Chains A and B, each alone.
Chain A
């Protein structure tokens, strides 16, 4: 999520209203006000709306929402006459280039801060951490057009931003803080992307760092914007968002010629949408005129077109409008979620529980009747708890997560009993007897099913108790079973039984082996059992 700083004075000047009016309503266009301070507010906007990642963009949207200025904002673009060449060798490295000239910039502390923050927020939200899109802004008056986007040898050097010494690009990746942060994007390429002017001065080494030469300061008047990346659409969006934000702050935008094409155009896209479709989706009455008016409030160009259509001009900065429904959401926001009639659907339906959960509830009932207390252990655990302490062999089909967060959470549980013993360890200081149970999911071979397990600990806990409790739960769940002597090393030899049903071993019960008790740091005997609930008649095949 992007948290954007909105300095009140700057925001008020751009929005042409007072801060209270803005802050009261800003959540209604889709945001969370995180903090309000004396001179600014920090507001979080959603990742699908990078056009709102600057005070300029927020002011533009709020002017529309508050009715101060509605409809499509216009951003005239004239050609700068400047060309940008692109080296064909970049096709397999970082092929896409976008650029623009921004003239007549009048920076102050707020607007320069705003453009820097916007750049960072775009790197995150649109640029996927600079890999998909990286943006560079330069003081244009320090360099000489035309500009060249080239694939350069890695040993070429220049003075990177915030340094005074010349460094090779390989050194930058090793020593410059930004170089280290973003090295992984380019380090495997034989040649590195580089932007130079006609005198061969380095402007930027995208996506890593700009040159010190073109540093933008509060005195900068004219800006050259470069945007490089791997995705055409994302690069264009980043250019459009920055250019229109700068235009909102008073600058004029000029296009650059790349491969014979003038870019950017900042022209809107057009969509013709159905009023009825929108009306049906949101559940409100609309006419082409009312719908067009709501869309204009959201800064779209919109005019009724016949009895059921609205012709919409989508501003170039609205990267999120992929589908007609994206426009319908804006209609709903402009209408106000609080004014939409909240009525449950009329179709009659009957609720139906899932058999697995019905069984689970019955198992819980049986355990509770036996005096067992339910616990709900985590499903992520580790081999030590699951197998080593239990003296059991690791099963086939155990799922190991690829990048565990800690050594405590490396596998998905394949049984429940070890986790109950861990619970007894946790509660050693609590009054005995303790009888605990759990019913829940286990996973083997990517398949999930439910098991139930119970433990009882007190000085007299024994085989007979385990057998009696297991028998009671099995009986309540209508599981027909027989018992044969078990070989499960977690239990004491001669005091353990396998539960067999339908020709398969579906559970085990008995007295926990003293070595296992010791491994779990337990001092009293434990009567325990575990049942695979797939043995319950009618358990669905999943």
Chain B
């Protein structure tokens, strides 16, 4: 049995004498409202100490309209009284009860209209209706009709009687502590020391608390933050760059041929804005056309300045890292960028037109493809993925290229990102003389798996309830 509240105790004390009484009576004795007494009685009933009986009584009340009819008779009765031999319809129409009463008379078949004269059918009587009005009864169809007409209303009155149970009586007889209870301790009670004699209310610890919602960062932001911290720990410098990039930095500097399908309108968001090409762009142009001064053949064909000047919403954060490399050609460079990128995709549950990409680059003397595998393995291990493997892949601006796969219990090997060494065709025109290791991964893919989302859009059009319910610390196992 839960601890009794002060009010339950007071109620039991009164019921010890009264045994059984209705709520208003008990309320009078306890100096409370009947509603409060009923509430206390329910609490005590949960503890088996009282029995609460709910008695529902139905009664009929007259609407304002009904009250008038009770005095003057129903409209049809009034008309019946008015109709005398020779009464015309026109006469009748002048009667104030005509609008409602005449329809009723017709409906009940109590009048006949012939030409302009109105006569009663015989025997025309509304006695049964009048009697239903005067003494309504739930079983009487005439009463139901009056309710429908809005003349009568049914109303329920609820009464409670409260009785003490034998168990309640036993508790009451054992003696009840009826001292005044203290809820929140007051400053006064604390400093004066009166708290020592206070009867501190005891709370029921089995009851659930009222929900409180802390302010917190988005679960997706938390995953981004985790990756960011891992990379900072691994000695990488964070980059931040613009969403709008020139095609030159987004594509051309990365040796993406100008007729590459990824550069077409249906895959990339183009803007009408253009920006002037950077100094030294001719080297990139020469690389595309003939391979510049490297062992490359280049793509051949033509390379148009206008195509390179056009602005796009960046399709990868590589546009940011390549500019960082061009501005910092001296080794070592270890940098990463996590940012929104854009692809002109039709939006559905697994495709968004904008999503976060993580990208890391390492440029140093003597770094190798093997070092790239080492960095990736370390990164994925720190993300919690124990099994990591690599397989050949293709990216236009890296050579050699690879895809990294991680092992997830219950799913198997899943692709987690691509990587490679920047082609010399990318680095040479920008004056970068050392190998650049680069890798990227879709952050939202991990988020979707970790948060168990079926729809990627949910990351960006989130339900507040989902955000409130997703704990800050998620139990992860094997990276998910």
Which residues of A are at the interface with B, using a C-beta cutoff of 8 A?
Answer: 27-30, 46-49, 128, 132, 231-233, 271, 280-284, 322-326, 328-329, 332-333, 337-338, 340-345, 347-354, 356-357, 361, 364, 367-380, 399-403, 405-406, 409, 412, 423, 426-427, 430-431, 434-437, 441, 443, 446-448, 542
Residues of chain B contacted by A402 (CB below 8 angstroms): 265, 269-272
Is the C-beta of B378 less than 8 angstroms from some C-beta in chain A?
yes
Please name the residue on chain B nearest to A422 by beta carbon.
B461
Q: A49-B394, A337-B392, A352-B232 known; A430 and B463 CB under 8 Å? A: yes
Is the C-beta of B33 less than 8 angstroms from some C-beta in chain A?
no
How far is the CB of B349 from the nearest CB of chain A, in Å? 15
User: Once the chains bind, are A401 and B271 in contact (CB under 8 Å)?
Assistant: yes
Is the C-beta of B10 less than 8 angstroms from some C-beta in chain A?
no
User: Once the chains bind, are B464 and A28 in contact (CB under 8 Å)?
Assistant: no
Which residues of B are at the interface with A, using a C-beta cutoff of 8 A?
Answer: 213-218, 220-221, 225, 228, 231-244, 259, 261, 265-266, 269-273, 275, 291, 294-298, 300-301, 311, 313, 331-332, 334, 339-340, 342, 344-347, 352-354, 362, 364, 366-371, 373-378, 389-394, 396, 399-402, 421, 423-425, 435, 459-465, 467-468
User: Once the chains bind, are A322 and B296 in contact (CB under 8 Å)?
Assistant: yes
Q: How far is the CA of A447 from the CA of B377 in the complex (A)?
A: 36
Residues of chain A contacted by B347 (CB below 8 angstroms): 405-406, 409
User: Once the chains bind, are A128 and B392 in contact (CB under 8 Å)?
Assistant: no
Q: How far is the CA of A162 from the CA of B396 in the complex (A)?
A: 38
User: Once the chains bind, are B301 and A426 in contact (CB under 8 Å)?
Assistant: no
Q: How far is the CA of A232 from the CA of B235 in the complex (A)?
A: 47
User: Once the chains bind, are B214 and A368 in contact (CB under 8 Å)?
Assistant: yes
User: Once the chains bind, are A412 and B228 in contact (CB under 8 Å)?
Assistant: no
User: Once the chains bind, are B370 and A282 in contact (CB under 8 Å)?
Assistant: yes
Q: How far is the CA of A405 from the CA of B214 in the complex (A)?
A: 37
User: Once the chains bind, are B296 and A323 in contact (CB under 8 Å)?
Assistant: yes
Please name the residue on chain A nearest to B392 by beta carbon.
A30
Q: A343-B370, A351-B235, A370-B215 known; A357 and B228 CB under 8 Å? A: yes
Can you list 8 A-B pairs with a CB-CB distance of less than 8 A?
Answer: A281-B400, A329-B401, A345-B374, A351-B234, A372-B215, A373-B215, A376-B220, A376-B460
Q: How far is the CA of A7 from the CA of B321 in the complex (A)?
A: 44
Q: A30-B393, A342-B370, A347-B364 known; A353 and B271 CB under 8 Å? A: no
Q: How far is the CA of A49 from the CA of B377 in the complex (A)?
A: 27
| B243: contacting residue among A281, A345, A448, CB under 8 A | A448
Q: How far is the CA of A341 from the CA of B399 in the complex (A)?
A: 18
Residues of chain A contacted by B463 (CB below 8 angstroms): 426-427, 430
How far is the CB of A351 from the nearest CB of chain B, in Å? 3
User: Once the chains bind, are A329 and B353 in contact (CB under 8 Å)?
Assistant: no
Q: How far is the CA of A83 from the CA of B389 in the complex (A)?
A: 53
User: Once the chains bind, are A282 and B400 in contact (CB under 8 Å)?
Assistant: yes
Q: How far is the CA of A409 from the CA of B354 in the complex (A)?
A: 11
Please name the residue on chain B nearest to A351 by beta carbon.
B232
Residues of chain A contacted by B340 (CB below 8 angstroms): 379, 441
| B235: contacting residue among A338, A348, A370, A400, CB under 8 A | A348
User: Once the chains bind, are B400 and A405 in contact (CB under 8 Å)?
Assistant: no
User: Once the chains bind, are A368 and B216 in contact (CB under 8 Å)?
Assistant: yes
| A349: contacting residue among B236, B291, B370, B391, CB under 8 A | B236
How far is the CB of A457 from the nearest CB of chain B, in Å? 11
User: Once the chains bind, are A356 and B300 in contact (CB under 8 Å)?
Assistant: no
User: Once the chains bind, are A443 and B375 in contact (CB under 8 Å)?
Assistant: no
Q: How far is the CA of A162 from the CA of B394 in the complex (A)?
A: 38
Residues of chain A contacted by B364 (CB below 8 angstroms): 345, 347
How far is the CB of B374 from the nearest CB of chain A, in Å? 4
Q: How far is the CA of A254 from the CA of B396 in the complex (A)?
A: 34
Q: A371-B214, A376-B221, A402-B272 known; A30 and B394 CB under 8 Å? A: yes
Top 5 A-B pairs, shortest CB-CB distance = A283-B370, A283-B368, A351-B232, A46-B394, A342-B373
Q: How far is the CA of A353 from the CA of B172 in the complex (A)?
A: 69
Residues of chain A contacted by B313 (CB below 8 angstroms): 401, 412
Residues of chain A contacted by B295 (CB below 8 angstroms): 271, 323-324
User: Once the chains bind, are A399 and B465 in contact (CB under 8 Å)?
Assistant: no
How far is the CB of B461 from the nearest CB of chain A, in Å? 6
Residues of chain A contacted by B396 (CB below 8 angstroms): 48
User: Once the chains bind, are B269 and A430 in contact (CB under 8 Å)?
Assistant: no
Q: How far is the CA of A335 from the CA of B56 in the complex (A)?
A: 88
Q: How far is the CA of A357 from the CA of B465 in the complex (A)?
A: 27
| B399: contacting residue among A271, A323, A376, CB under 8 A | A323
User: Once the chains bind, are B371 and A349 in contact (CB under 8 Å)?
Assistant: no
Please name the residue on chain A nearest to B257 by beta carbon.
A128
User: Once the chains bind, are A434 and B464 in contact (CB under 8 Å)?
Assistant: yes
Please name the residue on chain A nearest to B365 by beta carbon.
A347
Q: How far is the CA of A116 from the CA of B465 in the complex (A)?
A: 54
Residues of chain A contacted by B216 (CB below 8 angstroms): 368, 373-374
Q: How far is the CA of A54 from the CA of B225 in the complex (A)?
A: 45
How far is the CB of B390 from the nearest CB of chain A, in Å? 4
Q: How far is the CA of A447 from the CA of B242 in the complex (A)?
A: 6
Most-contacted residue by chain A among B218, B265, B377 (CB, 10 A): B218
| A338: contacting residue among B243, B346, B389, CB under 8 A | B389
How far is the CB of B315 from the nearest CB of chain A, in Å? 13
Residues of chain A contacted by B239 (CB below 8 angstroms): 354
Most-contacted residue by chain B among A354, A441, A443 (CB, 10 A): A354
Q: How far is the CA of A48 from the CA of B346 in the complex (A)?
A: 26
Residues of chain A contacted by B362 (CB below 8 angstroms): 345
User: Once the chains bind, are B275 and A231 in contact (CB under 8 Å)?
Assistant: no
Q: How far is the CA of A255 from the CA of B27 in the complex (A)?
A: 112
User: Once the chains bind, are A337 and B391 in contact (CB under 8 Å)?
Assistant: yes
Q: A282-B368, A343-B371, A373-B216 known; A446 and B377 CB under 8 Å? A: no
Q: How far is the CA of A30 from the CA of B393 in the complex (A)?
A: 5
| A281: contacting residue among B215, B235, B332, B421, CB under 8 A | B421
| B464: contacting residue among A401, A427, A443, CB under 8 A | A427
How far is the CB of A121 from the nearest CB of chain B, in Å? 14
User: Once the chains bind, are B400 and A325 in contact (CB under 8 Å)?
Assistant: yes
Q: How far is the CA of A448 from the CA of B236 in the complex (A)?
A: 23
Most-contacted residue by chain A among B214, B345, B396, B464 (CB, 10 A): B464
Q: How far is the CA of A333 from the CA of B369 in the complex (A)?
A: 12
User: Once the chains bind, are B400 and A332 in contact (CB under 8 Å)?
Assistant: yes
Residues of chain B contacted by A447 (CB below 8 angstroms): 242, 244
User: Once the chains bind, are A351 and B275 in contact (CB under 8 Å)?
Assistant: no
Q: How far is the CA of A76 from the CA of B234 in the complex (A)?
A: 55
Q: How far is the CA of A29 from the CA of B394 in the complex (A)?
A: 11
Q: How far is the CA of A441 from the CA of B337 in the complex (A)?
A: 14
| A326: contacting residue among B391, B392, B399, CB under 8 A | B399
| A128: contacting residue among B261, B271, B393, CB under 8 A | B261
How far is the CB of B14 from the nearest CB of chain A, in Å? 39
User: Once the chains bind, are A356 and B393 in contact (CB under 8 Å)?
Assistant: no
| B240: contacting residue among A337, A357, A431, CB under 8 A | A357
Q: How far is the CA of A99 from the CA of B127 in the complex (A)?
A: 110
Q: How far is the CA of A356 from the CA of B228 in the complex (A)?
A: 13
Q: How far is the CA of A479 from the CA of B459 in the complex (A)?
A: 31
How far is the CB of A360 from the nearest CB of chain B, in Å? 9
Residues of chain A contacted by B294 (CB below 8 angstroms): 323
| A283: contacting residue among B236, B371, B389, CB under 8 A | B371
Q: A376-B460, A402-B271 known; A340 and B369 CB under 8 Å? A: yes
Q: How far is the CA of A364 from the CA of B435 in the complex (A)?
A: 38
How far is the CB of B75 from the nearest CB of chain A, in Å? 43
Q: A340-B373, A446-B311 known; A373 and B244 CB under 8 Å? A: no
User: Once the chains bind, are B291 and A446 in contact (CB under 8 Å)?
Assistant: no
How far is the CB of A10 from the nearest CB of chain B, in Å? 24
Please name the residue on chain B nearest to A344 by beta carbon.
B374
How far is the CB of B174 from the nearest CB of chain A, in Å? 44
| B460: contacting residue among A322, A367, A377, A401, CB under 8 A | A377
Residues of chain B contacted by A325 (CB below 8 angstroms): 399-400, 421, 423-424
Please name the residue on chain A nearest to B222 by beta carbon.
A374
Residues of chain B contacted by A328 (CB below 8 angstroms): 399-400
Q: How far is the CA of A475 from the CA of B370 in the complex (A)?
A: 48
How far is the CB of B408 from the nearest CB of chain A, in Å? 17
Most-contacted residue by chain B among A333, A372, A402, A431 (CB, 10 A): A402
Q: How far is the CA of A340 from the CA of B375 in the complex (A)?
A: 13
